[in-house]
Amino acid sequence: MPSHIDFSDRLKQLPPYLFVEIDKAKRAARAAGRDIIDLGIGDPDTGTAQPIIDALKEAAQNPANHHYALDAGMPALRQAISFWFSKRFSVNLDPDTEIYPLIGSKEGLSHLPLGVINPKDKVIVPDPCYPGYLGAVIFAGGRLVRLPLKERSGFLPDLDKIKDLKDIKLMYLNYPNNPTAAVAPKNYLEQLVQIARDRGIILVSDLAYSEIYFDNEKPSSVLEVEGAKEIAIEFHSFSKTFSMTGWRIGWACGNPELVKALAKVKSNIDSGIFQAIQIAGITALQMPEEKIERLRAMYQERRDYLIHGLRSLDWKIPPPKATFYVWGKIPKKFPDSMTAAKFFLEEANIVATPGVGFGEQGEGYIRMTITVPKERINEAVERLRKVL
């Protein structure tokens, strides 16, 4: 056997995956017996609702669901997605041509460029951003064009800069945004769609946090904009809305040709979602809105609790309008975000995510989640009070 395996050039281009590195440090701290408060990865702590679990149990008992699942998903699931989407966004989607179920939205966001990007095609990726976009472009052989997200502009891409860029094939869009928690107003999306249509840019909208919003300000879907279906595909997830991160189920929707391209890539790489999970997904989509409203209210209470606690330390961070992330500038005593995150872990046993892990423009910021109970948020604030 060879003593050394040389990784592909694609793998060599990839930065270390941020959350893997954080998880290593977290596991080492816990192995040492330390009481860690994890404000790092956004993984809901509430557990999946019992009716969804019951639907899975019943479906899993049926041998008819034990076979290979269709790549395109069950017609009943696509119809349930179409109904939910129409009710939420007042947009009609054809269940047969404009909806495609996924094994979590992440795999769809990663697979799509393989179907529409040729080597050296330029792709706009926001900076900071969810790290998965970078890997998707690199694996497809595309050229990364990083577009800074600045606080003074509400962490929205500069439309004039997009107009000035030449030969852009595709652009990633993520609002409500991870990591900044920013929300894109409807009029901004309208302007962006017009630019994309004029220049033939494919818009890839990641709307995983569409239902985690506060103060009754509902985020918009890019597909609500007239003409968006000509150039846009949008990705949705059951993970955040229904606390189903480990179940791995989501969907893509929008332009039929983009959906078809994604479907062709996926059918050559993996199979469909375990059918029992699809049936549970239908149950999730049909749950009363009041259950989601209670979840939002819980997150909003936690958000306010954390923001108030940090302000008591004279650390002023603007409250997020959506997502379960709090994104703020690091205290002045730290030279950079990695130093701040390391200090939080070593001195206060708190896991937080350094902003630079989401891109160069994330330097100087840190991200904390509100996916822990209020009592743990309070404990985290008190620990920081002692060490900051």
Distances (CA, A) of 82 to 26, 251, 269, 285, 296: 40, 11, 25, 10, 23
CB 168 within 8 A of CB 148: no
User: What is d(CA 358, CA 104) in angstroms, rounded to the nearest whole number?
Assistant: 20
CATH for 64-285?
Answer: 3.40.640.10
What local confidence, expressed as pLDDT, does residue 326 receive? 98
How many residues are given for the chain? 388
Distances (CA, A) of 337 to 36, 50, 79, 300: 19, 39, 45, 26
C-alpha of 73 from chain center? 22
User: What is d(CA 111, CA 109) in angstroms, rounded to the nearest whole number?
Assistant: 6
- Name, in order, each residue with C-beta under 8 angstroms of 23's C-beta and a sequence gap of 6 or more: 41
pTM: 0.95
CB 282 within 8 A of CB 76: yes
User: What is d(CA 320, CA 297) in angstroms, rounded to the nearest whole number?
Assistant: 14
Per the structure block, which two tokens stand in for 8?
Answer: 């592909």
Convert the pLDDT of each residue in 186-228 to its tens digit.
999 999 999 999 999 999 999 999 999 999 999 999 999 999 9
What local confidence, expressed as pLDDT, does residue 327 receive? 98
Q: Which amino acid is at 189?
A: L
> Domain-by-domain residue ranges, the chain?
9-47+290-387, 64-285
Superfamily of domain 9-47+290-387: Aspartate Aminotransferase, domain 1 (3.90.1150.10)
Q: Which residues of the chain have pLDDT under 70?
A: 1-3, 18
What local confidence, expressed as pLDDT, does residue 16 receive? 74
Per the structure block, which two tokens stand in for 88?
Answer: 């939420």
Q: Which residues of 72-109 are buried (b: 16+ CB within 10 A; e: fewer)?
A: bbbeebbbbbbebbeeebebebebeebbbbbbbbbbbb
Matching residue, tokens 């309208």: 190
CB 217 within 8 A of CB 183: yes
CB 106 within 8 A of CB 154: no
CB 136 within 8 A of CB 113: yes
User: What is d(CA 373, CA 46) in angstroms, rounded to the nearest whole number?
Assistant: 9
Q: Is 340 exposed, middle or buried (0-12, 13-18, 19+ CB in 10 A)?
A: buried
What local confidence, expressed as pLDDT, does residue 2 receive? 57
CB 282 within 8 A of CB 78: no
